[in-house]
């Protein structure tokens, strides 16, 4: 296999994702949640990952982030990972300004400040007092500000838009589509807007098979939308 390019994310054919059952009777037995039979290669761009709750999106993302080992096969990452879990939080006593000051370089901090203004985030309010949506903004800004440093990144973001209002979601989507070339972004979402602007769509089919579903322009998107929003 060729070495991955700068920000390529590659999953080798036959890679499976899941976890090992621990505790009495488990005996370290592997429980496969998601399989990638044909392999996958994601280069720069916005890649949206949509699937029903409990399908294994977070398990897959955690494995890609290196926090879980794949049960079989191999994952290759061509750049540093920025993993943003759906439960990522920060010190409730610190304001956004203080967080940016502690976490980011001067250049990235300036970018974060301008992004905060663009997203209407009160930078002086303590994180613990922010609403859910505003807390989500902090995580998003930290991810986007890092891109200002110019070094390629692979961003793995788990439901980053949860809690954001419609207008903010649109502005964040604009940021994503304007991201520097070479940025690879894989986003788990349940919202509809990103599906239309993504460079590729991924889902988990019945049986836990990870599968690309084609570009938003073709009929596959509608099928995915229907499948995700069908009443059980």
Site for another protein in 160-199 (CB under 8 A): none
What residue ranges in 120-175 does DSSP mark as E strands?
Answer: 153-158
> The tokens of 26 are what?
């488990």
Residue corresponding to tokens 């096969």:
73
Q: Does 147 bind another protein (CB under 8 A)?
A: yes
User: Which of 46, 10, 1 has its CA nearest to residue 210?
Assistant: 10
Q: Which stretch binds another protein (CB under 8 A): 39-47, 113-121, 139-147, 202-210?
A: 139-147
Cβ partners under 8 Å of residue 87, min gap 6: none
From residue 10 to residue 39, what is the string marking binding to another protein with x (rule CB under 8 A)? ------------------------------
Q: Does 91 bind another protein (CB under 8 A)?
A: yes
Rounded-to-integer distance, Cα 174 and Cα 171, Å: 5
- Provide, rounded to whole angstroms, the least separation between the CB of residue 23 and another protein: 16
Q: Is the dihedral of CA 86, 118, 97, 47 positive or negative?
A: positive
Q: Does 108 bind another protein (CB under 8 A)?
A: yes
Number of amino acids touching another protein (CB under 8 A): 34
Q: Does 148 bind another protein (CB under 8 A)?
A: yes
Which residue of 13, 26, 54, 150 would you call a contact of another protein, by CB under 8 A? 150
Which residue of 8, 16, 85, 168 would you call a contact of another protein, by CB under 8 A? 85
Q: Does 146 bind another protein (CB under 8 A)?
A: yes
Q: Does 103 bind another protein (CB under 8 A)?
A: yes
Rounded-to-integer distance, Cα 189 and Cα 10, Å: 21
> Residue 15: beta bridge partners?
36
Q: Does 67 bind another protein (CB under 8 A)?
A: yes
- Provide, rounded to whole angstroms, the least separation between the CB of residue 83 and another protein: 4
Q: Is the dihedral of CA 223, 225, 230, 232 positive or negative?
A: positive
> The tokens of 86 are what?
């759906």
Which residue of 27, 87, 181, 206 would you call a contact of another protein, by CB under 8 A? 87
Q: Give how far Cα 33 sits from Cα of 13, 163, 207, 208, Å.
A: 16, 27, 9, 6
Residues that bind another protein (CB under 8 A): 65-67, 80-85, 87-91, 93-94, 98-99, 101-105, 107-108, 145-151, 153, 156
């Amino acid at each position: 296999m060729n070495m991955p390019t700068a920000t390529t994310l590659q999953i080798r054919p036959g890679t499976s994702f899941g976890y090992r059952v621990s505790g009495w009777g488990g005996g370290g037995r592997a429980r496969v949640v998601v399989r990638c039979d044909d392999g996958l290669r994601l280069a720069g761009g916005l890649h949206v990952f949509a699937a029903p709750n409990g399908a294994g999106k977070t398990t897959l993302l955690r494995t890609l982030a290196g926090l879980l080992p794949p049960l079989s096969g191999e994952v290759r990452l061509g750049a540093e990972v920025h993993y943003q879990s759906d439960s990522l939080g920060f010190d409730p006593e610190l304001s956004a300004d203080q967080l940016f000051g502690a976490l980011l370089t001067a250049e990235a901090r300036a970018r974060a400040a301008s992004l905060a203004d663009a997203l209407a985030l009160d930078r002086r309010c303590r994180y613990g007092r922010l609403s859910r949506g505003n807390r989500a903004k902090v995580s998003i800004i930290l991810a986007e500000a890092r891109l200002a440093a110019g070094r390629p990144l692979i961003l793995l973001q788990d439901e980053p838009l949860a809690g954001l209002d419609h207008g903010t979601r649109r502005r964040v989507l604009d940021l994503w589509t304007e991201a520097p070339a070479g940025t690879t972004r894989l986003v788990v979402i349940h919202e509809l807007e990103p599906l239309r602007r993504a460079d590729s769509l991924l889902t988990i089919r019945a049986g836990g098979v990870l599968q690309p579903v084609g570009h938003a322009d073709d009929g596959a998107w509608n099928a995915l939308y229907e499948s995700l929003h069908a009443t059980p």
